[in-house]
Amino acid sequence: MIATFKNTVTLDSLMPYFGAVLLIITGSFFFPQIMSADYLLQQLQIAAVLGLLATGATIVILLGHIDLSVPWVLTGAAILSTALVGSGNPALGAIAIPAALAFGALIGVINGVGVAILRIPSMVWTLAVNSMLLGLAVLNTGGFNPKGESSELMIGLASGKLLGVPISFLVWMAVAFALAVFLTRTPFGRYLRSIGFNEKATFLSGVSTPSVIFFAFAIAGMCSALGGVMLAGYANQAYQSMGDPFLLPTIAAVVVGGTSILGGRGTLFGTIGGALFITLLTSILSVMQMSDAWRNIIFGLVILSMLLFQTLRKGASR
């Protein structure tokens, strides 16, 4: 148990948590309301969507790949689920969330086929898949905001509270915990990391590497889809390009959480911290009423300095 703890809670993965605490303390000097439970609980709720996306992205990045189809898988899932609910048929409305998840898994498998069978670099293939999904969405909705609405369940998922804690946060934690167990306690998790280190060696030791890759991308697709359902529940509708602002923060959250972009090394625990840190950073910058320009600059500089700190620390310990 202690060994697992040591493997999970590395210094790299603790960094964003320190960062988040530092942000809250510094922020509360200027704006005391940041210290309040209301504000912090609200941040947990907002962080859930980014957190779910980053959880999926971590799985793919551990594999040594990247998933750039996140924005339109998210949007597609949101359009699909709100359209099913909006159709007025209770039977269709009931399968809205499972259908969205199935959609995410399907796109994930398509991503996996391109990467594992056709051997196209994931960065390009998932980009192409993303633009095909964009095309499908435009064709389907006519370029306008899609009609439809969110079900009670979706709204509850996004903005409901259980004993004062946002349900969206609890869902995120449940998904992250289940996947963390999956990654550390099953052969799949070991195969995933070993593919990230060396795919050839993993294949030669008898692992069916393509199926691991399919599965990883499918999980990532489902995480993106769940994020889309949640965002649709939050806004009570789906809208064009709703996923676009999430792509880069998602990668940033994973990397700030200490996961190596080259694959093989990293933890979901770090990613959770990363998502919290990025959400807090964005939120505090907007509380301070920074202009868009300064928000971008500070965002970039903070991420850079956290990454530089990671390499400096490693350089010092060597």
Partner 1 sequence: MLDYMRSNRREVIAGIVLIVLLSTYLGTHPRGASTYVVTIWANQAMILGLAAAAQFFAVVVRGIDLSVGAVMALTNTLASHLLDVSAIGIGFGILAVIGAGLLCGLLNGLLVVYGRIQPIVVTLATASVFVGLALLLRPTPGGAVNYDLADAMTLDVLGMPSALIITLVLVFGFWFPFRRTGLGLGLYALGSSEQAAYQSGINVTFVRLAAFALAGLFGGLAGLFYSFVTTTGDAGIAANFTLNSIAAVVLGGVLLRGGVGSLVGALAGAFILKTIASLMFFSGIPSLAQPLFEGLILAAAIAIGGADVLRVRNKLEVFGR
Footprint of partner 1 (CB under 8 A): 66, 68, 114, 117-121, 123-125, 127-129, 131-136, 138-139, 142-143, 199-200, 203-204, 244, 248, 251-252, 255, 260-262, 291-301, 303-304, 307-308, 311, 315
- Measured from the CB of residue 248, what is the shortest distance to partner 1 in angstroms? 6
If the CB atoms of residues 98 and 245 are measured against partner 1, the closer one turns out to be: 245
User: Over 196-236, what HEC string results?
Assistant: HHCHHHHHHCCCCHHHHHHHHHHHHHHHHHHHHHHHHHHHC
Q: Which is closer to partner 1, CB of 117 or CB of 162?
A: 117
C-beta closer to partner 1: residue 147 or 185: 147
> How far is CA 13 from each of CA 170, 258, 265, 267, rounded to the nearest angstrom?
20, 5, 11, 7
Minimum CB–partner distance for residue 207 and partner 1 (Å): 12
- Asked if residues 65 and 267 have their Cβ atoms less than 8 Å apart, the reply is no
Instruction: Output the smallest distance, CB 128 to partner 1, in A.
Output: 4
Q: How far apart are the first and last CA of the chain?
A: 27
Closest approach of partner 1 to the CB of residue 282, in Å = 11
For residues 284 and 23, the answer to whether their CB atoms sit within 8 Å is yes
Q: Which is nearer to partner 1, 12 or 149 (CB)?
A: 12
Tokens read off for 125: 């293939």
Give the count of alpha carbons within 13 A of 143, CB side only: 0
Closest to partner 1 by CB, 1 vs 118, is 118
Phi-psi region of 239 (alpha: psi -120 to 50; beta: other; left: phi over 0): beta
Least Å distance, CB 149 to partner 1, is: 23
